[in-house]
A and B are shown apart, each in its own frame.
Chain A
Amino acid sequence: MNSELVFEAHRARARRSARAWAVSALGPATMLAGVVWAIAQPYRLTLLHPHGQGFWWLVIEPPLLVVAAGVAFALLVASGLLEDIEAVEAERSS
């Protein structure tokens, strides 16, 4: 096989895997942002000092909302999207 074609195919595979890597990283990166925020501003987590807090202050905690958004995206969107990226790549290569 022509070495230029092999190089092109290799480069295309690398680009596609970069795409899959980027999608798979979005959810964990969002979760990590929430965790870092919780560590940086622990007073935003009322669960750590729940005494005397009302219902809403115990339910809605911004760093946990960020983590929840990351989890929801990773489980509900990213997992299926990764399967579809692989399927499309397999169709193209066959």
Chain B
Amino acid sequence: MQPPAEMVHWLFATGMLLLGLCLLSEAIVGEEVWRRRRWRAYLWPGLAFGLGVALWPVMVLFTNSAIHMLAHGAWAQVLMLAGAAELGLARGKLKSGLWRLTSPLACLVTGTAFLVHEQNGWLFARSSFLHHALGWVFVGAAVFPLGRVFRPRSPVFGAGFALSLVVIAVLLYTDRDVAPIFGHLSPLAGTPHR
């Protein structure tokens, strides 16, 4: 009784949307207000870590090739690493701001994983298009968390990272298992759903 793969994408889109909203509000109000309640400092790192954990069952149950499984496994690991590093920084267990490099690393590895494991061209089907688009958005979005490493209080880098996650959420919400993209659908992709 597994949900279709597209629904898993929609659930992760919701997680990404919440992550983006939390980061955006942190960028708007600033670190001083955001950390006024202790639990809020752990909110988005915990959410990122949780999304990383949730990627493991996706890797086990929803992948149909070795490269697909490796891509999801790599994504799960780097997302958990980034979430854990941010949790450590929020708690004060980690002191060096260089631990924030795990977030751009997560974006780069995730983007590369998306690009490498998609075997078809952009217009093969909607899912292929989204894999290419998501991959490049993740790679491009790495600029923002990288900027936060050197300027952690910058609202531009904070808001840029948050809005990148919102864009990623929108792309994930548009995913369908078999659907056309801009009127294109390869006959090899199968029969489109509703």
A residues in contact (CB < 8 Å) with B: 19, 22-23, 26-27, 30, 43, 55-56, 60, 62, 65-66, 68-69, 72-73, 77-78, 80-81, 84-85, 87-88
B interface, size bucket: 20 to 34
The answer to the question of B24 belonging to the interface, with a C-beta cut-off of 8 Å to chain A, is yes
* Nearest A-chain residue to B24, judged by Cβ: A26
Q: Are A77 and B173 in contact (CB under 8 A)?
A: no
The answer to the question of B33 belonging to the interface, with a C-beta cut-off of 8 Å to chain A, is yes
Which of B10, B33, B173 contacts A81 (CB under 8 A)? B33
Chain B interface, DSSP helix/strand/loop, else mixed: helix
CB under 8 Å from chain A, chain B span 20-56? 21-22, 24-25, 28-29, 32-34, 36-37, 40, 43
The answer to the question of B188 belonging to the interface, with a C-beta cut-off of 8 Å to chain A, is no
Q: Would you list 6 pairs from A and B whose C-beta atoms are within 8 A, ordered by A residue?
A: A19-B28, A26-B25, A56-B4, A65-B13, A66-B14, A73-B25
Q: Are A60 and B18 in contact (CB under 8 A)?
A: no
Q: Are B173 and A62 in contact (CB under 8 A)?
A: yes
Residues in A with CB closer than 8 Å to B33 are: 81, 84-85, 88
The answer to the question of B194 belonging to the interface, with a C-beta cut-off of 8 Å to chain A, is yes
Which of B4, B7, B25, B173 contacts A78 (CB under 8 A)? B25
Q: Besides A65-B14, A84-B37, A85-B33, 11 other CB < 8 A contacts?
A: A19-B29, A23-B28, A30-B17, A55-B1, A60-B11, A66-B17, A69-B17, A69-B21, A73-B18, A77-B21, A81-B25
The answer to the question of B183 belonging to the interface, with a C-beta cut-off of 8 Å to chain A, is no
A77 to B40, CA, bound (A): 8
Q: Are B10 and A22 in contact (CB under 8 A)?
A: no
Q: Are A69 and B18 in contact (CB under 8 A)?
A: yes
Q: Are A62 and B10 in contact (CB under 8 A)?
A: yes
A30 to B36, CA, bound (A): 25
The answer to the question of B187 belonging to the interface, with a C-beta cut-off of 8 Å to chain A, is no
